[in-house]
Structure formats: C-alpha cells, structure tokens
C-alpha cells in the first residue's frame, strides 16, 4: 500500500486501463477547437497518473490512439501526434522521478520517426522503474495485436499442440503485464472499441458519463470504490458460493 493511499482504498485494483474518451465534446461544449479538448485531455492524464501513483496502482494502461484513429482528419491526427511527442519530451523526467516505467502497446513502426525515437528513449530511460508501469497504447488495436501474436508464434515454429493461452499472452504487446482488473471508459459511450480484446476477458468494466478532461482524482477514487463492491468470479464461483454449495 502506498504511504499516501487513503484508508478506504485498502484494496485497489492492481491494473487499471482507461479509454480516455470525450475530449472533442468537452471542447465543443466550450466552443473551442477539438485540439483544445485533446490538450485538456493530456493535462488531465498528468493528474490521473499522479493519482494512480498516490493510490498505489501498479499498472495504468491508456488508449491514446487506436489503429482506427488514422481515419480522423489529417490535422487532428498530426495535432495528436504533436501532443504525444510533446508530452514524452516534457514529462518523462518528472515521471521518471516518480518511479514511473513507460511501455508502448501497438505498432511503433507506423509512427513518425521523431515520435518513435521519443517513445523508445522514454522506454529505455524509465525501464528500471517499478512504482507504476504506464502502458501507452498508440497505434494500437486489439485484433491486430492478436494477429501479430499468431504470426510471431508461427514464425517461431511453435507446434499447434503447444499453443496455450499463456503462449498467446506471451506474444502480445502486454507480455509480462497482468490483465487489467478494471477498465474505465469515460464520456458515456458504452462499447469496448477493440481495446485489450484478449486481456479484458475477466476485467470489470466501468462506464461513466464524465468527459475525459473532467475525469479527476475524485472520479478515480469513486471508480476504485465501485470496483471494490464488485465480486469477481473469473468464470467460477466466489468463495462464499463454494461454502454455501458445500454446506448444502
Ligand atoms: C478521445 O476523444 C481521445 C483521443 C482519441 C485521444 C486521447 C489523447 C489524449 C488524452 C492526449 C494525451 C495522451 C498521451 C498518451 C500523451 P474524442 O476525440 O474521441 O472525443 P469525442 O468522442 O468527444 O469527439
């Protein structure tokens, strides 16, 4: 438990994943350009990373840019890439000081060379940190990830009867990272949008109407409290149910 962690958050999810949705609507409601919404979203991400460190969350995975997002207007795509590059450039020293390790999920080779370099530098610079692992999904798609894993498995010559769920998990971008316990989607959309398709098999989902730039530390605290009320079964029975069944 982190030393600043509030008493009521005794049982925090080990891994939280977020779909940071609603930047565009946040900007529109204020008659601002969409990019202002994305900038506010990026600002908010800094706050939420800090809150995660404070709450003792060990893994945070964020959906920054999906493989489908390339179909957005060219200016918006370029603007988002600039925000990512900017954040990586400016925030990494502070993240490093906080003990944050950065990982990337997605196909890095399609990103512009300058951004690739910044990502790789950030990953290398923070690789020894272990307070919070921040997985940034940029150019990520869950189905693509599985296809890529299957291709790798075949090219490694692994025989069909040796393929297990663990072998597949070991070939995903998230290799070595535990599955998300809680996945939050902001902005009122209620779908999973190709996010962590394999890894979310037993995750708890929380959909909130709050737009991403407004999703603050207090909202995160409430989401964790809501998670604590859920009973996870992983397809089986809870220990309470097992006891009841045993006692007839
Ligand atoms: C969804 O809002 C948000 C995105 C596609 C981009 C998220 C990016 C950030 C928050 C910037 C910070 C990220 C990193 C990794 C530095 P939307 O445009 O779909 O909003 P709308 O549905 O209201 O139009």
The tens digit of pLDDT for each residue in 104-146 reads 999 999 999 999 999 999 999 999 999 999 999 999 999 999 9
Decide if 116 contacts 84 (C-beta within 8 A): no
Cα 120 from chain centroid (whole Å)? 18
CA distance 101 to 141: 22
The pTM of this model reads: 0.93
Sorted by where each starts, the structural domains of the chain and their CATH numbers stand as 15-247 (3.40.1180.10)
Is 228 catalytic? The answer is no
Looking at 74-138, list the stretches that DSSP marks H as alpha helix, in order from N- to C-terminal side: 74-97, 113-125
Q: Which atom of ligand 1 is nearest to the CA of 138?
A: 15
pLDDT 10s digits, 54-82: 999 999 999 999 999 999 999 999 999 99
Q: Which two tokens stand for residue 80?
A: 């988002």
Q: What is the pLDDT of residue 92?
A: 97
Judge if the beta carbon of residue 136 lies within 6 A of ligand 1. yes
Using alpha carbons, select from 121, 63, 111 the residue that is nearest to residue 89: 121
Is 75 catalytic? The answer is no
Q: Ligand 1 centre from 201 Cα, in Å?
A: 24
Mean pLDDT by 10 residues, the chain (248 residues): 64 96 98 98 98 98 97 97 96 97 98 98 98 98 98 98 98 98 98 98 98 98 96 77 68
Q: Ligand 1 centre from 94 Cα, in Å?
A: 22
Q: Which atom of ligand 1 is nearest to the CA of 87?
A: 16
Looking at 127-234, list the stretches that DSSP marks H as alpha helix, in order from N- to C-terminal side: 142-155, 165-170, 217-229
Q: What is the pLDDT of residue 5?
A: 67
**DSSP-assigned beta bridge partners for residue 102:** 134
């Amino acid at each position: 438990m982190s030393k600043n962690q509030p008493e009521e958050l005794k049982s925090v999810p080990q891994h939280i994943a977020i779909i940071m949705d609603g930047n565009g609507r946040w900007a529109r409601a204020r008659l601002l350009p969409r990019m202002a919404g994305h900038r506010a979203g990026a600002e908010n991400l800094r706050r939420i990373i800090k809150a995660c460190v404070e709450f003792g969350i060990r893994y945070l995975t964020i959906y920054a840019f999906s493989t489908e997002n390339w179909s957005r207007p060219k200016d918006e795509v370029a603007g988002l890439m600039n925000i990512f590059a900017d954040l990586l450039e400016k925030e990494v020293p502070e993240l490093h000081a906080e003990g944050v390790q950065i990982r990337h999920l997605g196909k890095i080779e399609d990103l512009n060379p300058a951004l690739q370099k910044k990502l790789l530098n950030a990953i290398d610079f923070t690789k020894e940190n272990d307070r919070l692992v921040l997985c940034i999904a940029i150019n990520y798609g869950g189905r693509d990830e599985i296809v890529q894993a299957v291709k790798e498995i075949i090219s490694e010559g692994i025989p069909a009867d040796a393929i297990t769920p663990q072998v597949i998990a070991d070939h995903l971008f998230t290799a070595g990272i535990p599955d998300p316990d809680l996945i939050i989607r902001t902005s009122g959309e209620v779908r999973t949008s190709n996010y962590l398709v394999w890894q979310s098999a037993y995750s708890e989902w929380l959909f909130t109407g709050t737009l991403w730039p407004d999703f603050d530390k207090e909202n995160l605290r409430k989401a964790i409290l809501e998670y604590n009320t859920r009973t996870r079964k992983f397809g089986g029975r809870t220990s309470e149910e097992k006891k009841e069944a045993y006692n007839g």
